[in-house]
Structure 1
């Protein structure tokens, strides 16, 4: 199945979040990526047939990640429509190109080429 939309949450301590989410809610770890210091900075957790992604960072409320084909064109369209860009398009070490923004109500959105 080729997914396009993923729920996303940020945690200061991803490993503690994984431990809690798997223990308390029965989520299953699918992919866990660690940085050079061994700290989890990204994880994909399965919830039934669906997936959520969690990442390291300051919690700022839930967000949505949407896979798109052309990140730069998508960014330009969103910015022209009034989206507040929170992260300019950037190439990630795991091969994705991504950007982040807020909609007019302050909801967090990330768009990129990554498809787990």
Structure 2
């Protein structure tokens, strides 16, 4: 695990953030590192990906808020060193698989899952283009 906190966060809002937290931890293996709120109320939570430096911040959907997005409309890509093992884990958890594990034309082994709020999550081996790379 990296020694520094993430500097880029995926931010989500959820109709039922407690359920989404349990899903992200139990199904995908995120680590819950912070949760603020009483009981089932989640004002703010932070989850870290155990294989890298990425994180997710989430909380309850508040349509009147200044930083609001409709739940279930986000998508994220998470790099994993062992997509086959993770795929078996999400299958065993009964996840909603949108794209089965496959090899992509850009060299990734990956799959796509829909979470209980409707967000799409791709997990794969593609780590992105190197810094200084140029689009073709």
Name the TM-score, length of structure 1 as normaliser.
0.47
Give the structure with the larger strand fraction: 1
Greater radius of gyration (CA): 2
Name the TM-score, length of structure 2 as normaliser.
0.40
